[in-house]
Amino acid sequence: MVVLEFSMFPLDKGESVSPFVARSLDIIDRSGLDYHCHAMGTTLEGEFDQVMGVVKQCFEAMATDCHRIECSINLDYRKGYTNRLEGKVASVQQKLGRTVKR
How high is the pLDDT of residue 34? 97
pLDDT in tens, 40-97: 999 999 999 999 999 999 999 999 999 999 999 999 999 999 999 898 888 999 999 9
CA-CA distances (angstroms) from residue 63 to 22, 29, 94, 97, 102? 14, 19, 42, 45, 31
Decide if domain 2-96 falls under CATH 3.30.70.930.
yes
